[in-house]
Amino acid sequence: MATAHSSLLCFLLCFSYLSVSFSKTLFMPLIHSLSKTHFSSTHHLLKTTSDRSATRFRHQHRQQSRQGQVSLPLSPGSDYTLSFILNSHPPQSISVYLDTGSDLVWFPCQPFECILCEGKAPETNSSTPKISSSAKTVPCKSSACSAAHSKMPTSDLCAIANCPLESIETSDCRSFSCPPFYYAYGDGSLIARLYHDSVTLPLAAPPLVLHNFTFGCAHSALAEPVGVAGFGRGVLSLPAQLASFSPQLGNQFSYCLVSHSFDSDRVRRPSPLILGRYSEKERRVDASVKPDFVYTEMLDNPKHPYFYSVGLESISIGKKNIPAPELLKRVHGDGSGGVVVDSGTTFTMLPAKLYNSIVTEFDSRVSRFYERAIGIEDKTGLGPCYYYDKVVSVPGVALHFVGNGSSVALPRRNYFYEFLDGGDGVGKKRNVGCLMLMNGGDEKELSGGPGATLGNYQQQGFEVVYDLEKGRVGFARRQCASLWDSLNQN
C-alpha cells in the first residue's frame, strides 16, 4: 500500500506542469475505482453493483420516517475518484469519491476504525492520512460548523464545545473548536471533526492552492471506508469552496465519464472533471464539431437543498412514449419528487409503475426473437435479460426532460449490457444482454425523497454540465477520453 500511495503522489505532482489557467477553468482526472479482483465473476460484480444502487436509493426514503432524523444526502460516490494533496508536513495525497448527492468534503484520518467495512477497505490503514500541526480546528462560531451540524445555532454549538456561559453570552467563543459532528448517508455514516488546512488541486499551472479549505476528518465510520468530495449545493461542498476562492471556478462544473461497461481494461483512461467555464473552442475535440448541449432546469428541493434535481416528462422505448408520473415532473414541498442527477449511484432508479411499463414495452419487442435469461436475472439483480447468438437487436431508449426539446437519446451501451455468460469457466458459454434500469419501488414508498435517480452508468459518454449560475443541467454526447486529451493540449 505504501508503494501505491507514493506512486499516486508522484502521479499528481508530476502532472502539475500542465498549462491550465485556474483563474477561469481547472481540469482534473477522475479515476474509475473498478477492480475485478474484488469480484469472483461478472454475475457477482453486477449483483453487487445493482444491490448497492438499490440500497442507496431506498434507504434514503426509509430514513425520512424515523422521528428526529435530519434529511440525508444520497450515498457517497462508489465509482469515480478524484485526488488532491493535503499540504501537511510531509504532503499527503488524498483520493475521494466524486459525489453530486452530498455537500461535505471528508476523508478518514489516523487512527481510523470502519465498522462493517469488510471487503471495502484495505486491511491496513498505513496510507490513511494524519492530521498535522498545520491543520486548524474550525471554531464553533463558524458558519461552516453550523452547516456541518445542520445549521445548529452558534450558542448551542458553543455549549456543546464546553464554552463557558459568560463567553457564550458575550459571543466570544472563537477559541473553542467545533465539536465532532455526525454525518449520515443513505447506507452509512461517520463521526468527524472540522478542520481548516491548505490543499492543492493538481493539474493546474501553477498548482492551485486553496488556503483555509474546510474538510471533515473522520476517525470512525459505518460502511464508509473511503472519503468523499461532496459536489452538492451546500456551503461546505467543493464547488462552493472554490467559488469563495474564485467565482469563475465555482459557478459551473462538468464531468465526462469514460464508458467502461465493467471492463477494467477500458477504464485506464481518466474521465475529465472540469471546474469552471471553458470556451467553445476548448470544448471541441474535433475543430469541425460543435458540442450540442441539451439543458433542463434545476429544481429546488426544500428538504434536500444539496440535490441537483430535474423534471422528467417521459421515457421512450423505440417510438413508444411512456409518460412519467407527476412525481418525477416536479419537487413538492415535503421534498418528494424530481429526478436527482447523481454521480454516486451506478444504475438509474425509477418508480415501479414507470419501470414496469418500460420493461413491458421493452420485453414485448425483444422476447419475440430472443430467449429470456431468467437465471441471469436472479444472479445479477438486473432484467430483463436475454440470450442471443451473435448480434442482438434492441429498441432505442431516450429520456425526455421537462422543457422544450430537452431530450437525450441514450447510447445502447448505456442501457443494455452485453457479456459472455460462462466466460468465468462455469457452464456453457453464451452471449447474454440485460437492461440496465432498475425498479426503485412504489410511489408511496418514495415520499420525502427523490422520485428517481439518474445514475452514472447512464451518464457515460456524455459531458454533464452543472450550471449553478443559470440553474440548469446540460447533456452533450462526447468522446470523453478524447476530450481529456484535447483539454490538456489546449
What string of DSSP letters covers 294-306? EEEE-B--SS-TT
Q: Rounded to whole angstroms, how far apart are CA atoms 490 and 488?
A: 5
Q: What is the largest CA-CA distance in the chain?
A: 79
Phi-psi region of 47 (alpha: psi -120 to 50; beta: other; left: phi over 0): alpha
Amino acid at the residue 283: R
Concatenated DSSP letters of 340-368: EE-SS-SSEEE-HHHHHHHHHHHHHHHTT
Return the ∠ at Cα 109 (arms to 5 and 274), rounded to 5°.
Answer: 60
- In 246-329, at which residue ranges do the beta strands (DSSP E only) sit? 252-256, 271-276, 294-297, 309-310, 312-317, 320-323
- Closest to 336 measured CA to CA, from 186, 445, 455, 188: 445
Distance CA 310, CA 73 (A): 16
Distance CA 273, CA 100 (A): 12
- Quote the cell numbers at residue 442: 412504489
Residue 124 contacts residue 2 (beta carbons within 8 Å): no
Q: Which residues of 171-209 are buried (b: 16+ CB within 10 A; e: fewer)?
A: eebeebbbbbbebbbbbbbbebbbbbbbbbbbbbeebbe
Cite the active site residues: 99, 342
92-99 and 136-137 as β-strands: parallel, antiparallel, unpaired?
A: unpaired
